[in-house]
Chain A
Amino acid sequence: MAAMDEVDRRRFLSLLGAGVAGVSLPGLVAGCAPGGSGAGSGSGKDRPLSAAFNQPINDLDPHGASAVDEASLLANRQIYDTLVTRTGDELAPKLAKSWTQPDDKTWEFTLRDDVTFHDGSKLTSADVKASLERLAKSDGPQKPLWTAIGTVEAPDPHTIRITTTDPLGTLPTNLTLAFILPAAQLGRADFFRKPIGSGPFAVESFTPSSQLLLKPVKNYWGGAPTLPGLRLPYIPETSTRMTSLQNGEVDVTWIIPPDELKRLAGVDGVRIESKPGVNYFLAWFNCGRKPFSDARVRRALYHALDIKGIVASLYGDAATVMDAPIPAAVFGHASQQPYAYDPELAKRELAEAGYSSGIRTSMMWFKDTGPLATELAQSLISAWAKVGVVVEQQQIEKAAWIKRLTALDWDIELQVNTVTTGDADYTLGRLYTSTANRMGYANKELDGILAQARSTADQEKRKSLYAQACEIIWRDAVGVFPAALSSTYGLRGAVKGFSPAANSQPEFRTVSTAQ
């Protein structure tokens, strides 16, 4: 019996050895799988361009839970088309050749007739109707943009008629976020794993929050992309992302953090391009709570800050000091008179408001809200301490932050906000009304201006209305608006035809790589 055991054990050990080899051998082969593309640091003619954004693409449903995530929008812009697009300050035709407004609650869009989906089927008004209705019904974060949609009709294959329950001047702007899907395929359960759109790139493979691999669409109606393919990997660790740009694993990466800008600019084979962005830091005061219900206190806190100095030392070229409650790159921005840095004036104003002995309060934020958020928070807090305002630091997790933000359970809160549509309505019109009640601020005059700016379709009139809104929000110091972040891109020398996008959603159709 003992002898049997002896033999068995030996045989067993050798089997185990073979087992280990067996595990590692397929591993050797499978090791090539995760990246998927076979794209190494070497460059070949057919190597897809690698473009790494600093946020993960969670899913490809453009009407779903990630519908306003910048990373999802980036992906959606390559795969799908919208009726209208934005170029700079202007709205431009895309799937819609033109549009008219028969009355102030009705819009008519005429569609292009040369557009096909990636599977070859024609894009018609039925697809647009199905997509817009899906969007209006969705529970995603775009829902507030579409609550005023009444009916969507498709009288003929090239016409789409939208009626709204109230006049909605921002409809064409909102449509820049409404991606059109093929109606026939919408019921398929696994559709969004490898979706089909009508955009310049088609999905080859997708691993959520990890990598999206795209191939060019040769017969794209707007002209075929030059690139042999496009890889959008997500690299969570910033230091790794910078390394992969430097050794050529990725060809383009954005956003470059402020503390890396200078270093990267000196690296051979890498160039930096940037554009004023639509992301900006704001530090709201909870205007419904003492002591911030008093505008004098809020203004005093603004005067206590050397915003220029803080922004320059933290961000350098990666951000600009703001002169309005929205960044300069946004439609509706109007410059305001900056609050002068004057700690003595701040102390006097605090004393006038009855707080000569100082204030104890708190500020909350989450670390990843934006670059150097903690450093910025600390700079603000130490400046406020100098005028007798003691602010407790509350750096918390994102999920907890959202919960407290919506419950108005905070004194001061710091965040990076994004004007996703590039239009003031998205931020001012959505956040600052008394009914939205996002920071306890209520102003009937402002409510009226914002409602009017939303309903009118006359862009010049909207501009002047938002100028008034900017002035009121700025004058009442609803918050401190320290810095608009630039969209900073790092590119390998070989990348040509790239133009940096303010909204972090660059176009890749026109990009090429010189060999």
Chain B
Amino acid sequence: MTAFVGRRLAQALLQIWGAITIVFVALRVLPGDPAELILGSQATPEQLAGLRAQLGLDDPLPVQYLHHLQGLLRLDFGQSWRQGVSALDACLERLGPTLVLSAWAMVFTVVLGFLTGSYAARHANSVADRLISVSSLVGQALPPFWIGIMLSLIFARGLQILPSTADGTMASLLLPAFTLALPFVGWLGRLVRTGVLEEMNQDYVRTARAKGLSDQVVFYVHVLRNTLVPIVTMLGLLMGNFIANGVIVEVVFAWPGIGRLLVDSITFRDYAVVEAVLTVITVCYITLNLLVDVLYGYLDPRIQLENA
């Protein structure tokens, strides 16, 4: 087990380093210069050169890269030139709202996914099952920004029963969280449906029925719990997806999260913040993956043995 975790940890570190390097290179390859964006279009060449030197932008790329890595070891991403604070602080300040949104999207996904999936499985091949299948496919296929704008038009502008922006109330969470959850409700629903159907055909179910247990007891006590095992391990990956998809949903619903910070920072070439945000997202994602892998190995010891 230790060897398994150790190897996965080493892989994770390598992945994080790779991501940091790709982000670093990608940002510098983009046309556009922070000094020009800071000083505006009326700056003189001398002013630009001075600011570039001050920001360390006139060093050769490999030198900048080394400085960058050295900084990272001290968790120092540099200063955000736009906000005048440390890039990591600027980033962590916006992580909270994103996590809240993701957590609620997770709740919606799990509740709705299990409800629709298990209903569909218990009424397999009925009209309702087909309807759920089709709508889950549609839900997965629709782009989140479109879903978001449509929900906002219907519930906020049309019916006027929900706020369209983060205004500090619980109600303002509903639309963005639901928008974020929708594509994955269908995805989870299909997983649950397949899982339940598989378990229903297992010997222990027949045994339980033979003992004279009611359908309800067989389903909730035995089948559903066994379906949980593979699915729970998928939820970690889901969290990563929420954080990534949140970029768009946060813009549509003016949610003050990390995704919007990322978009703004890219527009303004606020390198330090872009790097901090992407690194935080990457670390979150890789950590969750790592947890899931370890978890999976723990829940199903056969996995560890295969990897050993």
Q: Which residues of A contact B (CB under 8 A)?
A: 5, 9, 12-13, 16, 20, 23-24, 27-28, 30-41, 50, 56, 58-59, 61, 64-66, 68, 139-141, 143-144, 190, 192-193, 207-211, 233-237, 239-244, 246-250, 397-400, 402-403, 405-406, 430-431, 436, 438
**Interface assignment of B51: CB less than 8 Å from any CB of chain A:** yes
Within 8 A of A (CB), among B248-305: 251-257, 260-261, 263-264, 267-269, 298-299, 301
A residues near B90, Cβ cutoff 8 Å: 208
Within 8 A of A (CB), among B10-47: 30-33, 36-43, 47
Per the bound structure, the CA–CA distance linking A208 and B81 in Å amounts to 12
Within 8 A of A (CB), among B157-208: 157, 160, 163-173
Given A143-B47, A399-B30, A405-B41, also A233-B84 (CB < 8 A): no
The 3 closest A-B pairs by CB, nearest first: A35-B168, A399-B32, A141-B40
B residues near A241, Cβ cutoff 8 Å: 254
Given A31-B100, A34-B97, A247-B156, also A240-B165 (CB < 8 A): yes
Q: Which residues of B contact A (CB under 8 A)?
A: 30-33, 36-43, 47, 50-51, 54, 81-85, 90, 93-94, 96-97, 99-100, 103-104, 106-107, 110, 149, 152-153, 156-157, 160, 163-173, 228-229, 232, 251-257, 260-261, 263-264, 267-269, 298-299, 301
A residues near B160, Cβ cutoff 8 Å: 41, 246-248
Q: SS class of chain B's interface: helix, strand, loop or mixed?
A: helix
Contact in complex: B149, A239 (CB < 8 Å): yes
Given A27-B100, A399-B31, A430-B42, also A40-B168 (CB < 8 A): yes
Contact in complex: B32, A208 (CB < 8 Å): no
Q: Would you list 21 pairs from A and B whose C-beta atoms are within 8 A, ordered by A residue?
A: A9-B298, A27-B99, A31-B100, A33-B97, A40-B167, A140-B38, A144-B42, A209-B264, A235-B165, A237-B251, A239-B149, A239-B152, A240-B254, A243-B157, A244-B156, A247-B157, A247-B163, A398-B32, A399-B269, A403-B32, A431-B42
A sample of 5 more A-B contacts (CB under 8 A), given A13-B229, A28-B170, A39-B168, is: A34-B256, A35-B168, A58-B264, A209-B260, A397-B32
Instruction: Give the total number of A-B pairs whose CB atoms are below 8 A apart.
Output: 201
Contact in complex: A236, B260 (CB < 8 Å): yes
A residues near B229, Cβ cutoff 8 Å: 13
Contact in complex: A30, B85 (CB < 8 Å): no
Contact in complex: B83, A208 (CB < 8 Å): yes
Contact in complex: B254, A33 (CB < 8 Å): no
Minimum CB–CB distance from B220 to chain A (whole Å) comes to 14
Per the bound structure, the CA–CA distance linking A237 and B254 in Å amounts to 7
Minimum CB–CB distance from A282 to chain B (whole Å) comes to 13
Per the bound structure, the CA–CA distance linking A12 and B297 in Å amounts to 13
B residues near A438, Cβ cutoff 8 Å: 41
Contact in complex: A64, B84 (CB < 8 Å): yes
A residues near B97, Cβ cutoff 8 Å: 33-34
Per the bound structure, the CA–CA distance linking A38 and B167 in Å amounts to 6
Per the bound structure, the CA–CA distance linking A22 and B262 in Å amounts to 28
Contact in complex: B153, A239 (CB < 8 Å): yes
Per the bound structure, the CA–CA distance linking A209 and B160 in Å amounts to 26
Given A66-B82, A436-B42, also A246-B157 (CB < 8 A): yes
Interface centre among B47, B83, B171 (most CB of A within 10 A): B83
Residue of A nearest to B97 (CB): A34
Interface centre among B97, B167, B169 (most CB of A within 10 A): B167
B residues near A243, Cβ cutoff 8 Å: 152-153, 156-157, 164
Contact in complex: A233, B169 (CB < 8 Å): no
B residues near A37, Cβ cutoff 8 Å: 167-168
Minimum CB–CB distance from A515 to chain B (whole Å) comes to 19
Given A24-B104, A35-B169, also A244-B232 (CB < 8 A): no
B residues near A398, Cβ cutoff 8 Å: 32, 267
B residues near A140, Cβ cutoff 8 Å: 38-39
CB < 8 Å neighbour of B168 from A32, A59, A242: A32
B residues near A210, Cβ cutoff 8 Å: 94, 254, 256, 260
Contact in complex: A399, B103 (CB < 8 Å): no
Contact in complex: B39, A143 (CB < 8 Å): yes
Minimum CB–CB distance from B267 to chain A (whole Å) comes to 6
Minimum CB–CB distance from B99 to chain A (whole Å) comes to 8
Contact in complex: A59, B84 (CB < 8 Å): yes
Minimum CB–CB distance from A147 to chain B (whole Å) comes to 9
Contact in complex: B232, A13 (CB < 8 Å): yes
Residue of A nearest to B156 (CB): A243
A residues near B50, Cβ cutoff 8 Å: 139
Contact in complex: A244, B165 (CB < 8 Å): yes
A residues near B51, Cβ cutoff 8 Å: 139
Residue of A nearest to B264 (CB): A209
Per the bound structure, the CA–CA distance linking A177 and B152 in Å amounts to 38
Per the bound structure, the CA–CA distance linking A27 and B54 in Å amounts to 41
Contact in complex: B32, A34 (CB < 8 Å): no
Contact in complex: A32, B228 (CB < 8 Å): no
Per the bound structure, the CA–CA distance linking A247 and B106 in Å amounts to 28
A residues near B257, Cβ cutoff 8 Å: 34
Contact in complex: B251, A13 (CB < 8 Å): no
Given A240-B164, A244-B164, also A68-B254 (CB < 8 A): no
Per the bound structure, the CA–CA distance linking A13 and B160 in Å amounts to 41
Contact in complex: A402, B299 (CB < 8 Å): no
Contact in complex: B168, A34 (CB < 8 Å): yes
Contact in complex: A236, B254 (CB < 8 Å): yes
CB < 8 Å neighbour of B96 from A13, A30, A66: A30
Residue of A nearest to B299 (CB): A9
Per the bound structure, the CA–CA distance linking A13 and B225 in Å amounts to 10
CB < 8 Å neighbour of A402 from B37, B81, B170: B37
Per the bound structure, the CA–CA distance linking A39 and B103 in Å amounts to 23
B residues near A56, Cβ cutoff 8 Å: 264
A residues near B30, Cβ cutoff 8 Å: 399
Given A143-B47, A192-B84, A402-B36, also A31-B42 (CB < 8 A): no
Interface centre among A34, A35, A38 (most CB of B within 10 A): A34
Per the bound structure, the CA–CA distance linking A436 and B42 in Å amounts to 8
Contact in complex: B254, A235 (CB < 8 Å): yes
